[in-house]
Every structure is written in structure tokens, then in C-alpha cells.
Amino acid sequence: MRHGPACLALVAACSVKVDYTGTLFQCDPDGACPSSYVCIDQRCVPSEPGPAECASAMTAGDEHTCAIRDDGTAWCWGRNTYGQLGDDTTTSRTLPVQVTGTALPQFTAIAAGANHSCAIAKAGSVWCWGLGGVGQLGNGSSSDNHSPVQVMGVTGATAIATGNSHSCAVAGGSVVCWGGNDSHQLGLEGASTYPTAQPVAGPTGVTALSARGDTTCAVDGSRAVWCWGNNESGQFGDGRLDSPPIPVRTMFSDAIGVAVGQSFSCAVTSGGAVFCAGNNGTGQLGDAVNSSAMPVPVALAVPAKAIAAGNDYACAIDGQGQPWCWGDNENAQLADTTTFSHAIPIRAEYSDVVEIAGGGGHLCVRSKAGGITCGGYNGHGELGDGRRTTRGAPQAITGLTGVTTVGAGAGHSCATLGDKTVRCWGANDRGQVGDGSVTRRTRPVPVQGVSGAVQVVTGDRHSCAAIDGAVMCWGQNGRGQLGDGSFETHGVARKVVGLTGASVLAASGERTCALTAGVVRCWGANDAGANGGGPGDDSAAPVTVQMLMTPSQGIAVGDFHTCSINPDHTVSCWGSNGVGQLGDGGDSSPVPVAVKTLTSIDQLAARGNTTCAHSSADGSVWCWGEGGDGQLGYGGFGARGVPQKVNGVPGAVAAVAGDTHTCARRGDGGVACWGGNFVGQLGDDTYRGRPAPGAPALVMDVRDLALGNLYACALVGSAGGVSCWGDDREGQLGDGVAARIAPVSPLLPCP
């Protein structure tokens, strides 16, 4: 690994040697950094090294990446929960590690699935490692393996492909598959799992093979495309939406290559045209059309030579080695220096490319010289540059003390301090950080024009502070969520009109509510009457909730619903009830309805479409609404229209809700969390989700807790420090780290 010079002698703000471990250091006030460093997001980071030019093949899985070096060794990096990196551990890696094992052969090709990987040896045998619960490793068992095991009965393999839970190979011009078969992704009508390779009937003389999710496709010797497995989005391109149990010949023709995405597929013809079929929710069909079960032409400006797909995007390589990409670009994986999705192909910022590999939210390319470059999501280290953008364990924000309250939004965070000023950090594309700019801030900065603040709350892209009974808001305002009487976005704080005596604030999505002398008043998005003034337009100024028992003892705001604690400590909710977030088992309602069964409630929490409550009677926590990630805590997955008791949170004093996860703050200062954990948002230093509380978050002496969309921040200890964990793409953890929209080179060591 190459290291830069020590910063101590060159930049006063730096105090230790900078390397590629993810540690970043502050730039000089004028933006200067030492030689070999650049100033990014106010921090000095090492200049990007050029790609190590020793790769002969590569692949991208959902959250990990692998490559074959010129010497035939395999190397992987990224998420390793099930041993999919093959280094005989389950430790995720932000830098490439060698796939290890006893007497491993030299490899020539490699494929990464959702949680497992497979490679072809020079002699044609196939080896797999990682998650093996449904036989996708092909060694006759259903056990995970953290280093390679040989697939039984496969010889002379020439191509390999992997999906969510299955694997396929081309041997002797025919296809064999093994693993999960619940969607017939093995092309078989029989059992739901096959732990050894099974022949696939249909395509012969196969020249190309691709798999993703529960779908597999192959190009046969006549250039016809055959597909099998899941076809619910019409990704087969044969005009129907059902999923036949055996391979079917599709309407793609004259194909020389095929690429399968999560719910779509594409094929490139001998003449260089590209056609796609299936879901087009993010433009992955490459044209401004609706989803289609028949192949539609991609609006490609040049003839293509090869095609590749990620989960919800695709790329083609033209005759000059230039990639053209389309579809989802939320993580800047299409390498056009933006995060905007594209329904029409755009030219990616790469050149001299001979291979493309698409992952879940990241994309890698290999140059003719053997160099690999990757861009996009780096939450588990899948870019291989040593700088992941998630934290599975709490990390203290340096220099932030004296905090009294914290707030967490979609991608930004805020805190009030003992001097009653406000600091914010993270995403700032709509001015939600409040410093008058739209520059992302990876460290806390003062909010302009706000003093005397006693509470701060955050919606998706706006923030509000309570100040001596008044309220000031800043950030996005397209739906009136700033409450200043306009729909104009502002990067500096504006006073909410017509509001005095505000004692408690709550915000989520594009809405804000306040308690004023026990009366609930709301402003912003009014979907399903969530502001409580009845159906109608969005509210740019506070409106009083009608027909609500007063005085309210507390409020909680979701994206499209609101809840209040009644004087008798029951709960009423109003707004959207699409996934049961009102808790009455009924339909959406613009007027308050009683939540079933709850009594003795002293605290509420909501975010997104989830609601939770704490009972003073026995310290229990109850949740209802959206539960697809297990965030309701009852031990299962799925929405519930009436409150469910959370299992295993003794000593809870408050509940806190996020979009995909939920936490309870305990009386001993600990935190118990449950739900989704794919970016480490449960704070237990793992990335395994759970539908009920388990191991506590690794933070103690918590005085206040705020959950954002995919992260959390806690006020810790009497000194008022803040620790955050989870998603860090926008710098919302305040640690100086943020995702880069420019591609980087994995630090693959060359022999």
C-alpha cells in the first residue's frame, strides 16, 4: 500500500500520517493540502492512485466485488457477512483480500452473487464460497463456507453466473445450475433446492450466460435468448408476466450477449443494437417508455459490443471502449458526476474499457491494460479504496460537546448546544444545514441567524428549531414545510408565521408539527389530510388539527400521518393508513381516529410509515404500520394495522422510530434496536437485521436519541457529546467522511 507524506510538517490541522484507512484531515483555511493530497469536503485526502494494472477478470455482487489477477489468484472486497470474500473470515473488507484455501487452482473467471461467489479454474472445475443455505455452493451441502469448495460434477466450465441464491455454469455448450429453485431459477420443475449441479434443458451451444435475482438467461448457438426463473416484471421479453417452470425462448434475437438485472434484462445484437425488457421504474430499459414485457430498443447513439447490468441499471461498451450507461444513478454509479437517474444512455467517464461489472449500487470497469476502476455505493467497502461510507458501531463526533438535543433527517443531522445555538451537518442540497450554502458538510457548522434554541427537529430535507415559543425553519420548502407562508426553499432560517407558544416540535418527510398550549398545529405536505385540517392542498402556514382531544400530551409525525397522546393517555392518529400507520385497523382518515388497545401512553415516535409508543404502566413499547424490515419488533416481517408489542425491551423509557429501524432508549442509558441493518443502522457493529431486539447498540449513557432514514445519532454523557452510526454517504455521521461521486481505483496489490 502506498502512503502519503506525514501531515504534521506540512499542514497544521493534520497530526498523524494519512493513509487509505478512511481517516481524513482538515484542509487549511484557503483549501490547501500537502503534496499528494487534495481538499474534498473540507478534508485533506490522499490523491487517488491510478488503477493497479494486473486484473484479468472481475465481477460485482450486490455488496461485494471480486477480481482475478494475472497470476490466477482471486481477490475480493466489500461485505463479508457470509464469507463471500473467501478469505476464511466473515469480516467485511474495504481493501482487496486474497481468496484463500488449501491447494486452490488458478482461476480464469469469477462471478459474485448476492451473498456468495463462484470462480472457474483453468482446468474447468468450478469453486464457490459464501452463503450456502440453499445449496448455491454446489458441494452437496447447505452450509456456508468462508473459503472455496469445489462444485460437484462440473468439468470443462467456460462461463459462470450467480444470482441471489443460485449459480449456473456453461459446460460443453450446455447450462448446469444449482442452489435455490423456489422461482424455478434453475430451470427445473422439481424441488425448491438442489445442492449439486443439474442440467438445464433448452439452450444448446451456449455462448453467453447471465443471472441476477431469481432470473437466468443464456444465448444459444443460433443467437436466440432463453430465460428461466422469475418473470414477474416481464424481464424474459416474451410478452408475458408469468414465470414458466422451464426455460423459454424469448423474443430477443440475433444476440451476442445478454445481461440480467434485478427485474429487467437486456441483449446486444450482432449489429450493435441493444434491446431491453421488464421493469423501467428507474429508466433501466434505456428509453423513455413504460415497463415492457416485450423487448424495446435502447436509445443508444453508437453500436455496442458488449452489455452488462446492475440491479436497476445497465451499461454497454462501444467499439472504442467507451461505456454508455442508463437507469438508476442514486449512488453515482453511472460515473457522469451526478446522482440523477437516466432513461436515455449517457457516456460514463471511463475510457479504454474491455469489461463492465454491475453490482447492487456500484459499477466497476476493467481497462485493456488490466486496471479496475469502481464508482457508486461504498457502504461496505465494495469500491475497495479503503473508505467505506457506513459505520456499524457508534463513532463520536470530534469537537462537538455541550449538546442538549439532536435531530436526524434523511441525510443531515442537527444539534442544539448549551448556548442555545444550533449546529447541523450532512446533506445540504436544499440548504437544510442552514449555513446559507448548498454545500455538503461532513462536520457540524453553525446555523445562521438562530439563537435561543431549545429543540431542533429534522425532516427529509428541512430543519426547524423551537426558540422561546416561536419556531424557525430552513431548507426545502416545496410543500410548505418551512411554514413561512411561502413555498420557496431557503438556506437560512425563516420564522414560522402565526405561531406562538410552541413547546414541542416534530418533523418527518416534508411536514412539521408543533404543540402550542396543548393544541396540535401542522404545516407542509397534506397527503390524506395528515395536517389535520381536512383534505386539501399543502399548508405553507400552521393549521390547527380539528376534532382532537386537548390538551395533547405529546405528538409524533410520520411522512403522511400524525399521532397525538390524548389527555387520558390514549392515542389518536390521522392521515394516511396505507400500511396501518394509524393503528385503528381501518382506512385513511383526515380526522383523528383512536388507536386500538393502547393505554397509559406517555411518549410517541414516528418516521416514514411507522409509529411506536411507550407505556408508563409497564415500560413496554408498541409499534404499528410499516414493518417490511422488521422495524415493528414483534418478531416478524410485514405491516400491522394495530399495535404490536415489541419483544424484549425491559427497562425502556422511550421509543424512537426511523424509516427501516426502531430503537428503545433504556433507563440504564443503553439502547436496544431492531429492524433493517444493511448499513449498520442498529449500531451493534454488524450488518445483520433482526425483527426483534437483540444485542444492544454499542453506546451507553444515552440522554437523547434521534433516528434518521438509515442512521442514528445519540446524545451521550453529561458532557453533551454526540455519537452516530449507520449510513454516512452524505456526511450525516459528522465524522468528515462522505461518498464521492467520482470513480476510484480498488487498491488491488499486484504481484
pLDDT digits (tens, 9 = 90+) for 102-114: 999 999 999 999 9
Q: Is the pLDDT of residue 18 over 70?
A: no
- The answer to whether residue 683 scores a pLDDT higher than 50 is yes
Looking at the structure, tell me whether residues 500 and 592 fall in a common domain.
Answer: yes
Instruction: For residue 187, give the 3-state DSSP assignment.
Output: coil
Q: Are residue 676 and residue 722 in the same domain, yes or no?
A: yes
Indicate whether 22 pLDDT > 80.
no
User: What CATH number is attached to the domain comprising 330?
Assistant: 2.130.10.30
Specify whether 1 is located in the same domain as 21.
yes
Cell of residue 209, nine digits: 450466460
Domain contains 618: yes
Kind plus residue range of the DSSP H or E element containing 216: strand 215-219
Per-residue pLDDT tens digits for 351-378: 999 999 999 999 999 999 999 999 999 9
Mean confidence (pLDDT) of the chain: 93
DSSP state of 52: P
Give the model's confidence band at 711: pLDDT under 50 very low, under 70 low, under 90 confident, else very high: very high
Contacts of 732 (CB under 8 A, 6+ apart): 408, 409, 411, 412, 413, 425, 426, 427, 708, 711, 724
Cα(185)–Cα(606) distance, integer angstroms: 39
Grade residue 387 by pLDDT with cuts at 50, 70 and 90.
confident
The boundaries of the domain holding residue 185 are: 53-201+739-751
Helix (H) or strand (E) holding 623: strand 621-625
| Same domain membership, residue 609 and residue 476 | yes
Burial of 190 (0-12, 13-18, 19+ CB in 10 A): exposed
Residues 176 and 287 in one domain: no
Question: Which amino acid type is present at position 299?
Answer: A
The residue assigned the cell 445442492 is: 195
Is 335 within a domain? yes
Domain identity same for 706 and 572: yes
Is residue 354 in some structural domain?
A: no
**For residue 347, what are the β-bridge partners?**
324
**Cis amide leading into 195 (omega within 30):** no
The C-alpha R_g of the chain, in whole angstroms, comes to: 27
Note whether residue 332 is domain-resident.
yes
Of 285, 316, 349, the residue at which a domain comes to its end is 349
Both 228 and 152 in a single domain? no
Of 261, 268, 254, the closest CA to residue 298 belongs to 268
Contact 380, 729 (CB under 8 A): no
Distance of CA 482 to the CA centre of its chain: 27
Query: Are residues 109 and 66 part of one domain?
Result: yes
Strand ranges (DSSP E) for 301-417?
304-309, 313-318, 323-327, 342-347, 353-358, 362-367, 372-376, 390-396, 403-408, 412-417
Give the torsion through C-alpha atoms of 260, 261, 264, 265, to 10 deg.
-20
Q: Tens of pLDDT along 26-51?
A: 677 666 777 667 666 566 766 667 78
In a domain, 367, yes or no: no
Do 502 and 528 sit in the same domain of this protein?
yes
* % the chain with pLDDT above 90: 89
Do residues 59 and 187 both lie within one domain? yes
Please name which of 409, 418, 541, 405 lies closest in space to residue 471, comparing C-alpha atoms.
Answer: 541
Same domain, 211 and 192: no
- Within a domain: residue 109? yes
What is the C-alpha to C-alpha distance for residues 25 and 31, in angstroms, rounded to an integer?
12
Please, which pLDDT band fits residue 20 given cuts at 50, 70 and 90?
A: very low
CA distances from 220 to 331, 672, 746 (A): 34, 53, 35
- CA gap 64, 83 in Å, rounded: 11
For residue 694, being part of any structural domain is answered with yes
- Based on the domain organization, do 196 and 210 belong to the same domain? no
Count of domains forming the chain: 4
- Per-residue confidence band for 70, with pLDDT thresholds at 50, 70 and 90: very high
In the chain, what's the furthest Cα-to-Cα distance? Answer: 78
Domain membership flag for residue 435: yes
What is the per-residue pLDDT for 132?
98
**Sign (positive/negative) of CA torsion 193, 197, 201, 203?**
positive
- Full DSSP string of 53-120: B-EEEEEE-SSEEEEEETTS-EEEEE--TTSTT-SSS---EEEEEE---TTPPPEEEEEE-SSEEEEE
> Cα angle at 216 between 210 and 221, to 5 degrees?
65
